[in-house]
Amino acid sequence: MIEISNVSKSYGPKIAVQDLSLHIPNGELFAFLGPNGAGKTTTIKMLCGLLFPTTGTVRVGGFDLRSHGDQARALVSYVPDQPFLYEKLTGREFLQFTADLYAMPRDRAAEKIDEVIDLFHLDEFVDDLTERYSHGMRQRTVFASALVHDPKLLIADEPTVGLDPKSIRELKTLLRKLADSGTTVFLSTHTLDIAQELADRIGIIDRGRLLGCGTMTDLRKHAAMDGNLEELFLKITEVPGVEITV
């Protein structure tokens, strides 16, 4: 589903991502970890087609994001850490807008809207204007809209921020279920226990470089130590690097 080949991305003289290659098959739940400023969000933005690589290619579902971006984006849903909603739309109207944007047939859209309202327990507030929503309500609504059109790839950046423990539990179950049903999930998070619990594979990026990628067993081998993900993460990212500039 995701093919990132030799991708580098520069912000002026600063290199945010350097020579990144990553292949993620259909139905995998991939957790992308890294310290602040490591290049996670830049990678996600390139996967969504918001930014283009300086060198290399990013393909989603076989479509190159640069030359066939519209087709690639039709397969993707992105849940950012700062969710965007139209303040003067109700949650239901926002879901309808998303369904229309993804060209869902009316009947199917109505069915799916009801389904995600139920799934994310939006029924109590879904007909209120979103300007009155709390952060958690906004996050749930954005998740619902991300899933309303059955995406092939779900990208979530810090999806648990602002959610209560019960919602986090439900979200974790849902993400696993989505991956099991064939949807690829690309998850960026700082919450290491969620990554360890859910992910099929984990990628660790720091200073724009992919330092390690694989299952927990692979990472343990890579770090040459046993332990949980937190210990592995600290070990892998502890090597002091120099900021890369051109």
Partner 1 sequence: MTTTLAPVADQASTFRSLRTRLFRNGLRVALEHGRTRLFTMLFTSVFVFVFTLGVGFYLFNQLAKANIPFKGAIVEGLFDLLFFTLGTMLVFSTGLILYASLFTSPEARFLLCSPARADRIFATKFQAAVAFSSWGFVILGIPIFLAYGIVSGVPWYFYALLPAYLLGYVLLPGSVSAALCLLLVRYLPQNKRQFFAVVGVIAAIVIGFWLYKVGISLKRTAVTGGKELDDLIGQFDLFRSGFAPSHWMTRGVMAAARNDLSGALVPLAQVWSNGLLLYVVAAWIAKRVYRTAYDRIAGGGRGKKIYKTSWLDRIMESLVFYLDKRTRTLVVKDFRTFRRDPTQWAVLILFGMLMLFGASNFRQYYSAGLAVMDRYALSLMNLCGTAILLCAGLSRFMFPLISLEGRKFWILGLTPVSRDQLLWGKFVFALTGSLVIAEGLIVVSDVLIGLPWDGVLLHAAVMAVVAVGLSGLNVGLGAYLPNFKETDPSKIVVGFGGTVNMVVGLGFLVMVIGTMAVPLHTAQIAKGMRGGEGAINPWVYAGVPVGLLVGALAVVLPLRAGARSLRAMEF
By CB under 8 A, name the binding residues for partner 1.
1, 9-14, 45, 48-52, 54, 61-63, 69-71, 73-76, 78, 80, 82, 84, 86-90, 93, 97-98, 100-104, 129, 131, 149, 152
In whole angstroms, the minimum distance from the beta carbon of 122 to partner 1 comes to 18
Question: Could you give the C-alpha distances from 208 to 118, 203, 205, 240, 245, in angstroms and in order?
Answer: 40, 12, 6, 13, 11
In whole angstroms, the minimum distance from the beta carbon of 118 to partner 1 comes to 23
DSSP state letter for 158:
S
Beta carbon nearer to partner 1, 98 or 188: 98
Question: Could you give the C-alpha distances from 148 to 80, 95, 151, in angstroms and in order?
Answer: 16, 7, 8
Beta carbon nearer to partner 1, 105 or 240: 105
Question: Could you give the C-alpha distances from 203 to 97, 144, 193, 210, 220, in angstroms and in order?
Answer: 34, 26, 14, 7, 13
Beta carbon nearer to partner 1, 87 or 111: 87
In whole angstroms, the minimum distance from the beta carbon of 110 to partner 1 comes to 15
User: 226-231 long-range contacts, Cβ below 8 Å, gap at least 24?
Assistant: 228/192, 228/196, 229/192, 229/193, 229/195, 229/196, 229/202, 230/192, 230/193
In whole angstroms, the minimum distance from the beta carbon of 5 to partner 1 comes to 16
* HEC sequence for 76-93: EEEECCCCCCCCCCEHHH
In whole angstroms, the minimum distance from the beta carbon of 74 to partner 1 comes to 4
Beta carbon nearer to partner 1, 44 or 202: 44
Beta carbon nearer to partner 1, 22 or 75: 75
- The two tokens of residue 150 are 């059955």
Beta carbon nearer to partner 1, 18 or 90: 90
Element containing residue 136 per DSSP (H, E): helix 135-147
In whole angstroms, the minimum distance from the beta carbon of 98 to partner 1 comes to 8
